[in-house]
Structure formats: structure tokens, C-alpha cells
Structure 1
Amino acid sequence: MGRTATYDGIADWYETEFLPGHRGPGPDGDPLELRRLLRQTLGEGAGTCLEIGCGTGANAAWVRDLGWTPVGVDLSGGMLRHAHGRLPAARADATRLPVRDGSVPAVLSMMAHTDMPDYPTVLREAARVLRPGGRLAHIGVHPCFCGGFADRTDPAGVVLRPGYLDGHWTRRSWTTAGLRDKVGASHWPLPALLGAFRDAGLTLDSFDEGGSPTPTVLAVRATKP
């Protein structure tokens, strides 16, 4: 998960200032439609759902509502301090998960893949720990409309500048009120992102988008054959 450790320096801000605003306005306090996407992409189930890049554990209650038992891993000890009481979690690198092969029925990556410079390796690790028939729910910023190349100052008229196909890490951002100017982001163009699921040996099952009027979030459901 590489640069995710930079969240140590902003963990308190993320928990007390950013997250409440991020989950505040909009339908049901969920302007990016993350809860709907989680319900449709992860779905109901039972057993362990391993959240990769769980951060402060903010998604744990939603995962429980679907019947799963959430557990998490994250590289940032600062973020995990806030996760205490929300879910069991361990400090670990997502490219080397401390989890046995074929041991979990579900894996979740929620708004975290841009924090991982080597997401294809993370997906291979997710495939390794999934049981046959297990599901992976990926919910992340939309690669076509979010990134250092996208100016979202006007939500009704997002301006896309050159750079989408570059596939790079950057701290360039259209706002100083968000995360990316503070911790940076890894950008994976859509073909590279979807190809990484295939290369990990996963089967792509369904897709969805969230946020409006221009999608902010892309959701992918995949299974391990």
C-alpha cells in the first residue's frame, strides 16, 4: 500500500473534519451513493469480509448491515487508531496480506485503490485469499472522471484535461479541501484497471456508477472461479 502511510499525518483531520463532510450532504448523507453501491456490489452474505485499506473503519457498520463480519487491514497506524471499536483490524501491507490462501468468502476495497501504487498486486493478493466462488467488491473513484487531469470545480461541467492516459501518481488536485493534494493518488486508466482484475484471475461480474451529475465512483464486482 506504499504511500498510504502518509495518512498517519492526517488521520485526526480525516476522522473529525473530512469524513463527516464527505458523508454529510446528499441523499441519506451519502452524496457519492457509496452505501447503495456497496449493497449492490458486495451484496448480502455471511462470514468474514476482509476490507483492504479499511482506514478508520467507517464502512464497517454498512458491511455488518449486509450480514457480513467485517475485518480490516491498513498500512496507517494513525487511521487504525480510529478504527478501534468499529472492526477488528491489523496494520499490514495490502500487497502482502497476512491472510491464508482461500480463507475468506469476501474482500472489499472501498475508495482505497488510488492510495495503492501497486493495485494490480493488491488484486492478486485479494484473489489469493478468496475462497473459490468468493466475491470481491471494488468501489473506487471513477478513473474516467476523477484524477489530476479532472477539474471538478463545477460538478455540472467537469473539465477533463490531458493526462488521463498517463497512468501516474500525483498530488495535483482541483481542491485543497480534499485528500489528493495531501496524500497524492495513483491513477489507473479504465483499461488498465479492468485488465488488472483479469490478470489476477478474477471473473468480472457487474459494474455500477455513483455520484451525479458526472459519476464520481465506479463499482466492480468480481468473483474467484
Structure 2
Amino acid sequence: MEQVMTGAAYDEIADWYETEFIPAQSAPDDPLGIHDALRELLGPGAGPCLEVGCGTGAYAGAVRRLGRTPVGVDLSAGMLRHAAGRLPVVRGDATRLPFADAAVPAVIAMMVHTDMPGYPAVLREVRRVLAPGGVFVHVGVHPCFCGAFADRSDPAVTVIRPGYRERGFSRDSWTSRGVRDKVGAMHFPLAELLGAFVAAGLTADGFAEGGGPTPITFSVRAR
């Protein structure tokens, strides 16, 4: 039910996301370190790279620059309407990926785990579809410094209020110019997030943090 609600919420904001939000986030200096993390942790390769929760396909070009072939899956038909011109896409639930076992050599999840209440189940599906020797890269908001408990309204200071340890969904946001006040966000404390990788049978072998002065993104490479 929560997955369906998230898809419907993104259907409503898909045009705004494509025309306003993504261009505003695409500064050439990569202030959140998203593209740096993808280059560092995924790296060059060949063959298909499945993006779970691909949205409008904003990262398809970055995947191609690494020599890989992007393929996307997302629940939101509205977002996929914009993505279809950037990469091959299929509409589907990330907790039941429409791909065969051991089918793809690489999987990425870019800034989406807070949109997926069932992210532990998503990680189990990632493990299922990864080919032997395959790599998975998770790039997401930093669970310690981003969420309903974190006030980032002052660029120089992040204020952490009570709530970090509370797993759950919230629409609270320090800004009205982002995504979270519109569709909400699921928060997983860091230990729970990393524990979900272990429970899924994924072994982490690389990490990165991006943005500042307090980190905004937290990235994991797993196999």
C-alpha cells in the first residue's frame, strides 16, 4: 500500500520534478557528491546497469559515461513518462523486480531509499537479480544528518533534534522547495539501514559521504 501511495504521489509532481527540481539540483560542481560517489563506487564497466527507482532517468547519462547500459524500473507512470526518452524503462515495484535471477551485472539506487518503506525487501530483490560478481551501489540522503529530525535551514549549521532513532515515515521538512514536503520520506537509522544490507546477503566493500559542511549523502558499494 505504501509503495502504491508513493508512486501516486510522484505521479502528481512528475512535471515539477522534471522541469524545476532536477535542473536546480544539477549544478556542475556536484554539490551533493552524487556523481562523484557513482564514479567512485560503481566505476567503469560494460553491460546493463539496472537503476531501481529511476524516476525521470536523471542519472542515465552518468551511467553511460561509465561504459554501462542503463535500464530503469520505477513505480510512477508520471516519472517514467519523462524517463522513457533517456533509457529503456519498465513500470514495476522495487520489492518485486521484473527481472530474472542473476540477470544483471550492476544495480544502482540513486537517492530513493527514503521513498521505499520496504527498502529491506528491495535490497533482497537486488541480491536476487545481481549476477555472480555483480555490484550494487546505493546513493542516498545521509541517515544521520537528513530527515524530519534535521534542520538544515542554515547552510552553515545542521541542527539535529530528537527523532533520529525513530524509524518511520514523515512529511516534515525544513524547506518547501524540495521533494520531502510533497511526498514525505521514510527514515531508517544508520544501523538499521546497514543491517538490511547484511540481512539481504550483500557484503559492503566501499563507502562515501558527500555534501557539506555536514554530509548530505551517504553511499555504499556492495556485492
CA RMSD of aligned residues (A): 0.8
Q: What stretches of structure 2 of length at least 5 have no aligned partner?
A: none
Partner SS, residue 158 of structure 1 = strand
- State whether structure 2 residue 198 is matched by structure 1 residue 195: no
Q: How many residues align?
A: 220
- State whether structure 2 residue 21 is matched by structure 1 residue 18: yes
Q: What stretches of structure 1 of length at least 5 have no aligned partner?
A: none
* Correspondence for 2:183: 183
Pairwise mapping of residues 97-112 of structure 1 onto structure 2 (< 5 A)? 97-112=97-112
* Correspondence for 1:169: 169
* Correspondence for 2:6: 4
* CA-to-aligned-CA distance 1:173-194 (integer Å, 9 cap, x gap): 0011101010000000000000
* CA-to-aligned-CA distance 1:111-157 (integer Å, 9 cap, x gap): 00000011000000000000111100000000000000000001211
Letter in 2 for 1:161: R
* Correspondence for 2:139: 139
* CA-to-aligned-CA distance 1:58-79 (integer Å, 9 cap, x gap): 0000000001100000000000
* CA-to-aligned-CA distance 1:25-58 (integer Å, 9 cap, x gap): xxx2421111111001111111110000000000
Q: Could you tell me how far apart the structure 1 residues matched to 2:166 and 2:203 are?
A: 26
Q: Could you tell me how far apart the structure 2 residues matched to 1:80 and 1:144 are?
A: 30
Partner SS, residue 20 of structure 2 = helix
CA contact (8 A) 1:32 1:211 kept: yes
* Correspondence for 1:217: 217
Partner SS, residue 146 of structure 1 = coil
CA contact (8 A) 1:2 1:117 kept: no
Runs of 4+ in 1 over 3 A off after TM superposition: none
Letter in 1 for 2:152: R
Letter in 2 for 1:79: M
Pairwise mapping of residues 51-200 of structure 1 onto structure 2 (< 5 A)? 51-200=51-200
Task: State the TM-score, normalized to the length of structure 2.
Answer: 0.97
